[in-house]
Amino acid sequence: MHPVPFLPVVWDKLPADRKGGGKPMRGICPQCGLGVPIRVQEGDNPRGGIMAPGNRDSHWEFLERWLSGPPRAPQQVGLMRRWARWCRCRPLLAGCVAFSVFGGVVLWGIALWGWVQSGGTISRLKTALFATQQELAHCQQLIEQQNQQLARQTQRLREAENAAQQAQHQYHQARQQIEQLNTRCDILQKDNVRLQQDLQIGCAWLLARQAQDLVFGQPHRSLLLASEAVRIFQEHGYNPEFSLVQTLLDAFVRLGQGSLEGQPAGISALALSRDGRWLTTATEDRTIRVWKLEGQRPALARVVRAHTGTVHQIFLTPDQRRFITAGQDGRIFLWDLDSRGSEKEPLPIGSSQGPILTSALSADGRWLLTAGGSLFQKEYSARLWDLQAQPPGDRSIVLRGHELPIRCAAFCPNLRWAVTAGEDRTIRLYHLQGNSPAAEQHILTGHQKAVLQVAFSPNGRWLVSAGADGAVRIWDLQALEHAGAFVVLQADTEAVVALAIDAQSRWLATGTTDGNVRLWQLPASDPSASALCLKGHEGPVHCLAFSSDGHMLLSGSADRTVRIWDLTAADPNQKVLILRGHAGAVRLMSLTEDGRLLVTASDIPPDSREPVVRLWRIRSEDLFQDANQIVTQIFNQTEREEILTSHRLFSAAVR
C-alpha cells in the first residue's frame, strides 16, 4: 500500500461512463511515479475542489497540502525492486516466466548430467572398442593361421580323396572280379546241385522201375525200394512218379494189406459211414455185419440177423447213428449202429408185398422209398415210408402206376421229387411237396427197353436215366413240360448199367456192359459233342463213383479191377490207377466224404481164398505214410541199408 493517496492526473480523459460512481481510475504514486488503479467514491471531488466540512477526508487534505508544497524529487527504484513490483503487478506472467526459467535450468542440468554421463560412456566405449579392435586383429591373425592350416589340410584331403578314389576304383574292379568268380562259383554249385539232383532223381527212377519189376515176386523188397524212391522225390521237391503209387497199391495187395478178414462170400450190399469209422455189410446168408474201422485193422463189432431173404439195400441215416436194411423178403428194419450187443432187436419199419429190389433214402432222412416186385405180380407199386412218424414207418404212401418190376429209385436233393423206373420202360416223377404225391405224378417215356439207372444232379436241375437200350436221357426239371425237355445221349448199343454225377453237377459218367466208361459235361448244350470215352476195362462196368471234389472218377468192373481216373489230367486215359486184388467181378463200392478211404466188394469163385471186401487208402500221402510204417515193421535199419546198397547206382549216388 502507498502511504499517500493517489493523484488522479487523467481524469478529464476518462470516458464519461467511468467518472465517479465507484468506478475504477488510475492514479500516479508521488513516490514511485507509477500509475496504479484507484477507486473513486460518490461525492469525492477528484479535482481538489473545496468540499463541504462534513464531506472532507484526511486523504484529500493530505493531497491538498502535497499539491500546495514544492514538488518532491522522485526516489530512485532498483532493478530488483522494479522486478518485484512488476511481479506483484503481473503474478500470472511472472509465474510463467519463473516456471520457464526453472524448467530451462532443470533441462540444462539434465543436459549437463547427460553430457557428463555420455562422456564417460563414450570413454568406456572407446576403451572397449580399442580392446575389441586389438582382439579382432588377434582373431584375424588366428583366422589367417587357420586358413593356412585349412589350405594344407584341404590339400592333404584332396590327395587322400584321390588315393581313396584310386582305392575305390581298385575295390570296384576287385569286387567285379569277385562277383564274376562268385557267379561262376554259383553256376558251378548250381550245376553241381543239379547234377546231384539229376543223379538222385535218376536213382529214384531206377528204384521205382526196380520196385515195379519186383512187386509181384518180392513185394517186401519192392515196397522198400518204392518208399525210398518216394523219399528222394519228396526231398527234391518233386511229386512222386505216378507209377510209384501203382507199385505201392500192388505191393499192399501182395502183402495182404486192406483185406477184410472174416467177411464171408456172397456179399449183397454194403454201406460206409461218411467219416470212415463204420462199415456195414450184408451177405446172401441173410446176416448183417457191422465193422469198426478206427484201429490198425478192421474189427468186427457184431453180427445181426433179422431178414428171411437176401438183403439188397443198406442205408446209413444222416446222423450216422442208425442204419436201414431192406431185402428180398420185403421187410424193412431200423438198426442202431453202435449197439454193444447183437442180441438187441431191430425196429421193424414195415413190409412190402413183393421183394424189394431198389430203395432210396431222402437227404433229410425222413422218407424211405422202396420198390421192386417179381414176375406174375398183380400190382407193382412203390411205397414212401415216413421215418419221422412214431413209430418210424407207421405212416406210408403207396405210389402206383408201374406195370412191371421197378428196378431203380431216387430222391431229388431239394426233396421236391421222388422218381421210380423199371422194366415197363417208364419213369415216374412224384411231387413230394404236393398234397398227394401218388396222384401228382409225371410220366416220362422214351426208352426202348428197361430203365436200369436213374440219378438226380446235386443242384436239382436234371434227372438222368439210363437203360438197357444203351441210351442216356437228360431231363430238365426246370421246364414246365417234363416229357419234352430232355436230351438223348446214345452211349452205345450195349446196356448202360452204371451211372454217377459229381457233386458239382458238372460231370456225368456212364458205364456199359462192353467195359467202356463215358464222361459227359452235364451243363453243356450238347453233351455228346464233348464226350470222353475212358477205355481199359475188359468187362462190364458195374459201379461208378466220383470223389467229393470231382477230381477222381472210380469205376468197378467185372474184370476184377477198380480204376481211378484222374480228371484233372489233360487225358484221363493216360493217368489211371488200377486196383487189383479181387478174385471176382467188382460189383459194389463206397467212398468216404473226404475221399481217403475206398471200400470195394466183389464176387468170388467157390475155390478162391481172396478176400471179398477190400479197403483202399487211395490218397498218395496216406499211401506213402503206410508204406513207411510197413517198411519199418518189416526191416530194421541194417537190413534196409544192405538192400539199398545192393543197387550199385544208388550206392554211387550216395557216395
Model confidence pLDDT, tens digit, residues 275-330:
999 999 999 889 999 999 987 889 999 999 999 999 999 999 999 999 999 999 99
Q: Which residues of 322-333 are buried (b: 16+ CB within 10 A; e: fewer)?
A: bbbbbbbbbbbb
Q: Quickly count: other Cβ atoms within 10 Å of residue 419's Cβ.
A: 27
* pLDDT reported for residue 2: 46
Q: How far apart are CA 377 and CA 397, in angstroms?
A: 19
User: Domain extents for the chain?
Assistant: 1-68
Rounded to a whole number of angstroms, the distance between the first and last alpha carbons of the chain is: 154
Q: Which residues of 50-80 are buried (b: 16+ CB within 10 A; e: fewer)?
A: eeeeeeeeeebeebeeeeeeeeeeeeeeeee
Dihedral through CA 21, CA 26, CA 27, CA 29, nearest 10? 140
The order of strands in the sheet holding 441-445 is 406-411, 417-422, 426-431, 441-445
The DSSP string of 411-453 is E-TTSSEEEEEETTSEEEEEETTSS-TTTSEEEEE--SS-EEE
Q: How far apart are CA 1 and CA 36, in angstroms?
A: 11
Q: Which three cell numbers stand for residue 642?
A: 544192405
- DSSP E strands in 93-243: the ranges are none
* pLDDT reported for residue 35: 54
Residues 6+ apart with CB under 8 A from 45: 51, 60
* pLDDT reported for residue 547: 94
Is-contact 505 459, C-beta < 8 A? yes
Q: Which three cell numbers stand for residue 14?
A: 476518462
Q: How far apart are CA 20 and CA 148, in angstroms?
A: 108
* pLDDT reported for residue 65: 73
* pLDDT reported for residue 572: 92
Q: Which three cell numbers stand for residue 160?
A: 587322400
- Give which of 508, 513, 399 is closest to 449, Cα–Cα: 513
Taking 70 as the pLDDT cut, the residues of the chain under it are: 1-57, 59-60, 66, 69, 71-77, 339-343, 480-484, 491-492, 647-655
* pLDDT reported for residue 25: 53
Q: Which three cell numbers stand for residue 171?
A: 575295390
Return the SS3 of 320.
Answer: coil
* pLDDT reported for residue 312: 92
